[in-house]
Structure 1
Amino acid sequence: MIQIDALPAFSDNYIWLLQDTATQCCAVVDPGDAQPVLDWLSANPQWRLTDILITHHHHDHVGGVEALKAATGARVHGPVAESIPARDVALSDGDHVQTLGLDFEVLEVPGHTLGHIAFYSAIPRPLLFSGDTLFAGGCGRLFEGTPGQMHASLQRLSALPEGTQVYCAHEYTLSNLRFAQAVEPDNAVLQQRLADVERLRAEQRITLPSRIGLERQTNPFLRTTETSVKQKADEWTGDANLTPVSVFAALRSWKNQF
């Protein structure tokens, strides 16, 4: 059985810790800081870190990799198209990573960065580690890619089974949903989700994981074909956005200034 916990890092990052309770082996996703992981391993000396999974090259995702590898000997898996420190296994679209009894398929999802990947496992329950591509209620900024690339990446993730649990890398849910409400003020599912998240954050509790089905209902960046979303995008740009990609680009521009 795999248990997944969040190790907070910096101001709003999550390092995902996967634990196989049968073998007492563990893996981490995007350790931007080694210390939270080293502290957990020190407090749990019976556990062994075997694998480090990296979605993209930004420092808040890779900053702890070299120290963790030096301390544990863990294998480092990361995207082939990006410079990942201490990488052992270079991953391309369609590759597979086996760790802790799980089989993760590598999905290339460019947009936030050009070589960004996500990790998806279907069995025993669908899991997605989406890095900074798909957030709960939102999506990452376009630092390197184009709106067309990011829109295609989000559509690819949106097509995963609706029960897929989404483990993204930041606690951005509340601010994302406040923007989503501005886009879709009459979305009843979104209104309820926002209220739930406001309560969780008031209690300083984590809002993740999300689910693909919930994202389809409440995340405006996955809803670019909805008439109400297009209308709001048109209002923002002052012109008609004729394609889902142009609607997405308008929403991303609006969110950047929200």
Structure 2
Amino acid sequence: MIELKTPQEIEAMRPAGRFVASILHDLQEMTHVGTNLLEIDDFVRRRIESRQGAQSCYVDYAPDFGTGPFAHYICTSVNDAVLHGVPYDYALQDGDLLSLDLAINVDGWVADSAISFVVGQNQDPEDLRLIRCTQEALAAGIDQARAGNRLGDISAAIGEVARSYGYPINLEFGGHGVGRIMHGDPHVPNDGRAHHGYRLRPGLVIAIEPWFLKTTDEIYQDPQDGWTLKAEDGSRGAHSEHTIAITDADPIILTDRSFLEH
């Protein structure tokens, strides 16, 4: 069921959005060659435990697309892994493409966001191009998140950017409703038909999350951890995500990090 938030409820979601944004910002600043994925996970754990009213959305999360409960505080996907990456004992190497996906509940409201970046100095232009595509697709999707438009307008805008870059598009996993829970209705595919689908209304809060792989739209679940989704052909992936609220005016980016970058 699709739920609409009141203006007061959207305001109540802002602390969760700022908290998630601040952690992702800090993680990108502190992550370098040699940083262990378990260090990243522990950093998030400590931040959550130090914040009154904050709870992880991932620990003990057990949806039908995973194998057993997720036992960590953040998703860390490296190189050919693109979604649901389980942190493990791995020290990041120069040139690794890292995607971080984080959802936290603060005082009963959830925010969800993701970033991708290349670790170290060995930054492959093709990796940077892939990341840039997800960022531009996210911006295009957010721009269509306006009352009176259709859900398909968001999806079509995302897909158009991906096609302009030449990347294939997987429709199995995409954006979703956000509120009291992390994953709610509606599903927001990363491609679709403009002017079709659910009519967007003020109060709808959704996570928009373009993710693409360089040369395939086929993924598989890592049999070792039962969660991490990887490219079938071993190509690299990137992922960008924001939680946004649709209003009578411009969409509100609840997980905006720009205020931290000055």
Structure 2 length-normalised TM: 0.23
Structure 1 length-normalised TM: 0.23
Which of structures 1 and 2 has the larger relative contact order (alpha carbons within 8 angstroms, sep 6+)? 2
